[in-house]
Amino acid sequence: MDAYEDIKLEGHIIDSLLLPRVLDLILEQGGDYCFLHFQMGRTKNDPSSALLRVSATTEEALTRILRQVQQQGAEVVEQEDATLEPAPADGVFPDNFYSTTNLETDIRLHGRWIPVMWPEMDCGIVVDPAGGAARTAPVAAVRAGELVVVGTKGIRVTPLSRDRTSRLFGFMGSAVSSEKPKRLVVARVARLMRQVRSEGKKIIAVLGPAVVHTGATPALTRLVANGWIDVVFGGNAVAVHDIEVALFGTSLGISLAEGESVEGGHEHHLRAINTIRRCGGIRQAVEQGVLRSGLFHELVRREVPYVLAGSIRDDGPLPDVITDSVAAQQAMREHVRGAGLCLMLSSMLHSIATGNLLPASVATVCVDINPAVVTKLADRGSFQTVGIVTDVGLFLDELAEQLEAA
């Protein structure tokens, strides 16, 4: 006799494509299904619901199917408490650990549902039974003896529903925009930023060095000065080039005033690094009056935190750069908590890293001149991400104007 479990789906399961996605997963994994109950919402605002019996030839196959459909938002009807096993060693999950998505997740503990704090993809769930609390944890952070959720029992994932009154780009036919009216797009980004700010949530800016090369730093500095940016993520390069502009008026040896290379300009970024290293860091350079302008000068003045994650290709690096990738990831992880919006500006590497840390509920706006980069960044499998194909300098200039005009 085949093994089976009943699952239910609730919400906007048709227009969000949740139902067909779950049915496809069941069949792709060699399972089968039948509908026990289905009710479609009468209006566009009414939720729909479906009750399905999922079957497979073995318990192992059924467990595999349930794990995948749960990650999409299906809920097993006959729920038991989540199964917990201790981590066998520091940095090691028990076998068959539950791998999280970036969706809101609950686990069943002592007969009641409790939320899992800090939704993040590709983590485990660490549980404190005595305190009745659960949180996501990357594998490197788990400690021997901590209780970790294993298997598929007692887990509930809440899928994102398609927002019919989209806060951002409901008028856009595709997630990546290359031929839409940019002024209207930017106006909607500005509107979203105001809404996020009114909700008391943070706005993150992830920056690549192109922000400096395109001359967008003054516009971004205005956003920081006006309180629109709460934290900045980037690498060594964006800080180095911003400081190079402040000290020498060049970015990678190119004068931003004239657009031409200057004599000895190829040395400027190294001399900028050396100057900051002599001061002891960016903050010290500001305090000593060495760094008197630029984005990072403004970040220090306004006490806006920044995380600079290092790379093997970095020159220097600056003393502020975190060269331990695990430590850099953890620093970023702490700052994404409480975020409502993330602006990903011409930095594929750091934007992907940030996207991996964000809950699915955080809206993200990806801006790059390269459509392939924008498509890759926007393809996070959720409705809250939009990509804008345009010059980041033009985008930031228009955004600053829109926000200042309010």
> Structure tokens of 114?
């409790």
> Structure tokens of 77?
């009807």
Residue 247: pLDDT over 90: yes
Residue among 136, 151, 122 at smallest CA distance from 64: 151
Q: What pLDDT shows up at residue 219?
A: 97
Report CA-CA distances (Å) from 174 to 126, 179, 371.
38, 10, 13
Answer for the pair 47, 158: CB distance below 8 angstroms, yes or no: no
Q: What's the predicted TM-score (pTM) here?
A: 0.84
Work out the pLDDT band at 173, boundaries 50, 70, 90.
very low
Q: With pLDDT > 70 as the criterion, what percentage of the chain qualifies?
A: 93
Work out the pLDDT band at 80, boundaries 50, 70, 90.
confident
Answer for the pair 226, 363: CB distance below 8 angstroms, yes or no: no
Q: What pLDDT shows up at residue 320?
A: 98
Work out the pLDDT band at 252, boundaries 50, 70, 90.
confident
User: What are 355-371's pLDDT values in tens digits?
Assistant: 999 999 899 999 999 88
Work out the pLDDT band at 379, boundaries 50, 70, 90.
low
Q: What pLDDT shows up at residue 392?
A: 95
Per the rule left: phi > 0, alpha: psi between -120 and 50, beta: everything else, 99 is beta
Find the range with the poorest average confidence among 101-110, 200-209, 393-402. 101-110
Residue 33: pLDDT over 80: yes
Q: What pLDDT shows up at residue 266?
A: 87
Answer for the pair 242, 265: CB distance below 8 angstroms, yes or no: no
Contacts of 331 (CB under 8 A, 6+ apart): 307, 309, 322
**Higher per-residue confidence, 65 vs 377:** 65
Work out the pLDDT band at 260, boundaries 50, 70, 90.
confident
Contacts of 200 (CB under 8 A, 6+ apart): none
Work out the pLDDT band at 176, boundaries 50, 70, 90.
low
Amino acid of residue 141: A
Q: What pLDDT shows up at residue 169?
A: 46
CA 52 to chain centre: 32
Q: What pLDDT shows up at residue 165?
A: 38
Answer for the pair 98, 106: CB distance below 8 angstroms, yes or no: no
**Higher per-residue confidence, 251 vs 379:** 251
Q: What pLDDT shows up at residue 3?
A: 81
Find the range with the poorest average confidence among 46-60, 102-116, 153-167, 269-283. 153-167
Please state, in angstroms and rounded to a whole number, the distance separating the CA atoms of residues 237 and 207.
Answer: 10
Domains (range + CATH), the chain:
1-77 (3.30.70.2690), 79-162 (2.40.420.10), 176-405 (3.40.50.10690)
User: What are 306-324's pLDDT values in tens digits?
Assistant: 999 999 999 999 999 999 9
The average confidence (pLDDT) of the chain is 90
